[in-house]
Amino acid sequence: MSSGELRVDGRSAVFELHMPTYEIQHVANPETALLEHMRFDGAKMLSSSCATDKTDPNTYVCTAQYEFARPIPDAVQIECTLFQVTVPNHVHLLHAVQGPNGDQVVFDKTFTQAEARFHPPSRAELLARGVAGGVARLVGSMGALVFLAALALAARSSRETALFVALFLIGEWVALPLAPRIPLALSPSFLEAALALTSAYLAVEILLLPESGARWMAVPLLGVVHGFYFAAFPAPYLAGASTLQVLIVAALAAGALRVPVKWRRVAAGLVLAVAGGRFARVLMS
């Protein structure tokens, strides 16, 4: 994850990008490649400079001066494709400021364009934007979707489905205040590997311990792992993802509970194969 700040003053603007150095170790010319993947509609770059932060060697900082063709009255259109030059799961959090007003937008491979508005957004607008972003982030994560299938297969009744979903969501929301207290940086590749392992764990339980009565105890812990995937985003992101997760698990469980147990075990085997493949792919990348 990287962060940036765009300060607009009339036709002039200054953009400062903060990027973790471990995400650009493979980039040939980060002093130009990074800023080439940040575009502000109607703006021309006048100058730029990049270097490792003197106070934090783990952060690479780029600063660029821009000039717009005309004064920006209310909003600026922004395109961010940093995931193309860093890592596929890269997330960029940008704060745009004009005088006393500011806005915050989030970019990843599913959201590459956004509008930063220089007027105080309403609560409804912020909530709607966050919910939509959370839904898109969930749909864009194969690891998260595979886990939801595993969770639906793990439940042996409608009552157990409701219990598992509730415990999973509790775990996810606990992760939000917990994540900032973790001293280690959780890289995108680590999170992807962790999501794959959560799916594999449930699949193994279904296959080897089909009558286990303690399965529910692990579900909130698995939820914490999935919550870290949304911890860097505003809370409405997780709210949108949580709503969609409930609907997906409910639909999958409704179908799974109607098929014979042997077919559910076959499905669990497929989940294990997919999760194992994704975990191996992350390790090799």
**Which pLDDT belongs to residue 90?**
87
The kind and range of the H/E element at 112 are none
230 plus 184 within the same structural domain: yes
Where in the sequence is the domain holding 93, given as residue range(s)? 2-121
User: What is the DSSP secondary-structure string of 151-170?
Assistant: HHHH--SHHHHHHHHHHHHH
Domain boundary among 121, 152, 184: 121
Residue reference for tokens 């914490």: 224
Using an 8 Å Cβ cutoff, are 238 and 134 in contact? yes
> What pLDDT score was predicted for residue 110?
81
Task: Using alpha carbons, list the distances in angstroms from residue 242 to 132, 134, 144, 245.
Answer: 12, 8, 12, 5
Q: For residue 105, is it within any domain?
A: yes
Question: Do residue 228 and residue 147 come from a single domain?
Answer: yes
Which residues face 217 on adjacent strands?
none
Asked if 144 and 229 sit in the same domain, the reply is: yes
Q: How many domains does the chain have?
A: 2
Structure-token pair, residue 79? 């395109």
pTM beyond cutoff 0.75: no
Tell me phi and psi for residue 147, to 5 degrees. -65, -40
21-53 burial by CB neighbour count: b if 16+ within 10 A, else e?
eebbeeeeebeebbbebbebeebebeebebeee
Residue 244 lies in a domain: yes
pLDDT by position in tens, the chain (length 285): 899 999 999 899 999 999 999 888 888 899 999 999 999 999 999 999 999 988 888 899 999 999 998 888 788 999 999 999 998 888 899 999 988 888 888 898 888 998 888 876 677 877 888 898 889 888 888 889 999 999 999 999 999 999 999 999 999 999 999 988 887 767 777 888 889 999 999 999 999 988 888 888 999 999 999 998 888 888 898 999 999 999 999 999 999 999 998 999 999 999 999 999 988 887 776
Residue 179 confidence (pLDDT)? 85
14 and 83 fall within a common domain:
yes
Residue 277: inside a domain, yes or no? yes
pLDDT given at position 38: 95
Rg over CA atoms, the chain: 21
In a domain, 127, yes or no: no
67 and 202 together in one domain? no
Q: How many CA atoms lie within 13 A of 196 on its CB side?
A: 17
Question: Whose structure tokens read 């194992």?
Answer: 276
